[in-house]
Structure 1
Amino acid sequence: MSHKMPAVEDVAVEGVRILDSIRNDPEFGAFWAASLAYSEDWQCFTGFPVVERWNLEADADPLFWEGLRALSLKAAIYEATSDDAKSEIAIAVPVDEMTHAMLAQSQLLARIAARVGVVIIHQTDQEHTDYRAGGYTHDCYRAAWGEPPARYWLDHEEVIRRRDVLAGLYESIGMGRSGREHRLDFATA
C-alpha cells in the first residue's frame, strides 16, 4: 500500500458523488432529522461552543452539511486506499462534533452507507482534529465544494485558544477541566 495520499481532485470528485448519493437515499430525510434531534444530548463543553456566538437552532443544519461533507471526504479516501488511518483526515473540532451526532444514528447511517456502497470512517482514538486551512483536508474540500465556512472550519490553534477562554469561564463557575468535573453540591443548590 502506498504511503501517498490520493490526489485532491480524485477525492473531491468522489466526495461529491458520495454526498450526493447519501442525500438521494430514501432514508436520508430520517437520517437528517434524527441527527438534528440528537440536540438534547449536545452538551459538549469544548466542541460546539468554540463556534463564535454558537446557537444550536441556527447552527445545527449548516453544521450537519459540514459533517456530511467531512464524512464523504473520509469515505472517498477510504475507497481509494482501504486504509482507516489515512481516511482519518484532519477535521475541524465543531465539524467533528457534528459527525458524532450523525454517527449516533448508526442503524440509519449503516443502511444508507450499504445502499450507497461506501464505508463511513470514524474512530475516536484515530481521529485528527488538528485541521488547518491550506492542509490536505482544506484542499480536498475546496476542490469539491469551494471554500469551507470559516465559522465551523476553525484552525486547530484557534480552537485551542477558544478552549482556553472557555476553560477559564467554566472554572469561574466551578466547572473544572472544561466540564469534566465540578464542585457543585446539588443538595444545597
Structure 2
Amino acid sequence: MSHTELPAASTVADAAKLILDGIKGGREFDAFKAASLEYSEDWQCFTGFPVVQRWNLEADAPALFEEGLRALALKAAVYELTADDRAAEIPIAVPVDEMTHAMLAQAQLLGRIAEARGISIIHQTDQEHTDYRAGGYTHDCYRLAWGEPPVRYWLDHEEVVRRRGVLAGLYESIGMGRSGREHALDFAAA
C-alpha cells in the first residue's frame, strides 16, 4: 500500500475529465472502442460481470465501456498528480474493473492513444483494489467529475462479495468448483 497522500477529489476530478477527453479525442479511439466491445467472445469471467443483476453482455457493454474509461481516467489522474502507481490504484468496482481488463487487452491501440496524449494508463493486478464503496475516495472523485456513478455497475464491495457467494452456490450446483476455476466434467463422456 502506498503512503502517498491522495490529492483532493476535486483536483482529481478536473484532471480525469481532461484525461478522458484526451483518450476520446485520440485518432484511434473508435478502433479502440470497437475492439474493446468486440472482445465479447473472450469475456468468460464467472465473478466479475455476472455480479451485475440481470447481466446481458450486448445490452450492458456500451455503458460499461464508458465506466471503464472513467475508471482508467481517474487512476491516470491520480498518477499524474502523485507520480505514484500504487496510489493511483484507487478502489474500482468489480464489474468496472473487469471492463478495464477488456480495454487493456487492446494494448497496442490504447498504448498509442495514451502515448500520443501523454497519458499514463495505470493497472497492475497485484496492486488493484476492487473494494470500491459509495462515499469513499473514488466515489467522491467520480461524482465531482461526472455526477453520481451508475449503481448498476459501481457496486459496493460488500454487495459484490454477497453476490459472488450466490453465484458460487449456483456454479457448485452444476459441478463448477471455486466459481468456475475448476470442474470435474468429463467431456469425452458427454
- With normalisation by structure 2, the TM-score equals 0.98
User: How many residues are treated as equivalent by the alignment?
Assistant: 189
Task: For 2:56, give the aligned amino acid.
Answer: N
- 2:6 maps to 5
- 2:157 maps to 156
Per-residue deviation, residues 56-114 of structure 1 (Å, max 9, x unmatched) = 00000000000000000000000000001000000000000000000000000000001
In the alignment, structure 1 residue 57 sits paired with structure 2 residue 31: no
- The structural deviation recorded for 1:130 is 0.2
Q: Is the 8 Å Cα contact of residues 23 and 29 (structure 2) preserved in structure 1?
A: yes
Equivalent-residue separation in structure 2 for 1:167 and 1:4 (angstroms): 37
- 2:111 maps to 110
Secondary structure in structure 1 of the residue aligned to 2:126: helix
Equivalent-residue separation in structure 2 for 1:78 and 1:3 (angstroms): 11
Equivalent-residue separation in structure 1 for 2:119 and 2:82 (angstroms): 13
Task: For 2:121, give the aligned amino acid.
Answer: I
Equivalent-residue separation in structure 1 for 2:107 and 2:5 (angstroms): 31
- The structural deviation recorded for 1:20 is 0.7
Q: Which runs of 5+ in 1 are unaligned?
A: none
Equivalent positions of 1:53-92 (< 5 A) are: 53-92=54-93
- The structural deviation recorded for 1:3 is 2.7
- 2:94 maps to 93
Equivalent-residue separation in structure 1 for 2:27 and 2:5 (angstroms): 36
- 1:145 maps to 146
* Moved segments of 4+, more than 3 Å: none
Equivalent-residue separation in structure 2 for 1:2 and 1:39 (angstroms): 37
- 2:187 maps to 186
Q: Which runs of 5+ in 2 are unaligned?
A: none
Per-residue deviation, residues 148-181 of structure 1 (Å, max 9, x unmatched) = 0000000000000000000000000000000000
Q: Is the 8 Å Cα contact of residues 4 and 82 (structure 2) preserved in structure 1?
A: no
- The structural deviation recorded for 1:2 is 7.2
Equivalent-residue separation in structure 2 for 1:39 and 1:110 (angstroms): 21
Per-residue deviation, residues 1-52 of structure 1 (Å, max 9, x unmatched) = 9731011111000100000111111100000000001110001000000000
Q: Is the 8 Å Cα contact of residues 172 and 179 (structure 2) preserved in structure 1?
A: yes
- The structural deviation recorded for 1:183 is 1.1
- With normalisation by structure 1, the TM-score equals 0.99
